[in-house]
Amino acid sequence: MKIKNTPPALPLWHSPSLWSEANNTIAELIDKNLENLNQAIMAAHEIEKNLNSIFPVVNRLCMPTCPMCPDPCCLNAKIWFDFKDLLFLHLQRLVIAPSQPIGKMSETCRYIGHHGCTLDRIARPWMCTWYLCPSQTGRLRKDCPSEYDNIQRVFNDIKSERGKMEDGFITAIMPHFSFL
C-alpha cells in the first residue's frame, strides 16, 4: 500500500490580510473586555518577568556558539507566532512583528539578519526562546547545572502562565459569544 505524505499545513495567519485581521481582532477584544482581563494580564506580566529573567543566560550562551555555528537553526526553523504569542504581545503592549516569520513552509524566516534575529527577544515567538539547541544545552549542563535546572523551571512556569493567560482571556470574552 502506498502511503500518501500529507503536505505540511500553512503557517497560521500566513497572509498580510489574515495577519492584520488576527491582530485587530485580539486588540479589539482586549479593549472591549479590559475590566475582566485581570487573570490574563497578571499571567502576561509573569511571562514577561520570567522571560526577562532568562535572557541574560540565553545571550551568554549565544555569544560563543551562534556566530560560529555551522548550521544555524533559524535558517531551517519553520516557526510562526501562535495565538498565545500574539495575546501576550497585545496584553503587554509590546511591538508586534509586521508579519509571520514565514508565509509558506518552503520559506526561510524573514527576521534573520546578518547578526542574528532582528526582533527583540521579548517580541519573538515563544518557540524561538524555548528552543535550546543541543550544543547550548550541553554547554549549560556541563558548565552550570544549576542554571540549566533554573532555566528548565522558568520554561515550565512560562508554559503554565501561557495556559492561564489564554484561559483568562477566553473566560473574559465569553459574554460576547453567548451562542457558544
Going by the DSSP 8-state scheme, the letter that residue 77 receives in this structure is: -
Asked if residue 58 binds ligand SF4 (CB under 6 A), the reply is no
Distance in angstroms (rounded) separating the CA atoms of residues 127 and 122? 12
Asked if residue 54 binds ligand SF4 (CB under 6 A), the reply is no
Applying CB under 6 A, which part among 32-40, 82-90, 127-135, 155-163 lies near ligand SF4? Answer: 127-135
Applying CB under 6 A, which part among 16-24, 25-33, 106-114, 148-156 lies near ligand SF4? Answer: 106-114
Closest distance of CB 79 from ligand SF4, Å:
5
Rounded to 10 deg, the angle between the 38-65 and 145-173 helix axes is: 150
Asked if residue 100 binds ligand SF4 (CB under 6 A), the reply is no
Least Cα distance to 126 among 69, 166, 71, 86 occurs for 86
Contact present, 94 and 123 (Cβ < 8 Å): yes
The size of the chain, in residues, is: 180
Contacts of 77 (CB under 8 A, 6+ apart): 101, 109, 127, 128
Closest distance of CB 148 from ligand SF4, Å:
15
Closest CB to ligand SF4 among 50 and 135? 135
Asked if residue 144 binds ligand SF4 (CB under 6 A), the reply is no
Closest distance of CB 25 from ligand SF4, Å:
22
Distance in angstroms (rounded) separating the CA atoms of residues 62 and 58? 6
Asked if residue 162 binds ligand SF4 (CB under 6 A), the reply is no
Closest distance of CB 121 from ligand SF4, Å:
8
Residue 135: what residue type? S
Other residues' Cβ atoms within 10 Å of the Cβ of residue 2? 3
Looking at 26, 40, 74, 91, which residue binds ligand SF4 (CB under 6 A)? 74
Contact present, 128 and 117 (Cβ < 8 Å): yes
Interface with ligand SF4 (CB under 6 A): 62, 65-66, 69, 72-74, 77, 79, 101, 109, 111-112, 117, 119, 124-125, 128, 133, 135-136
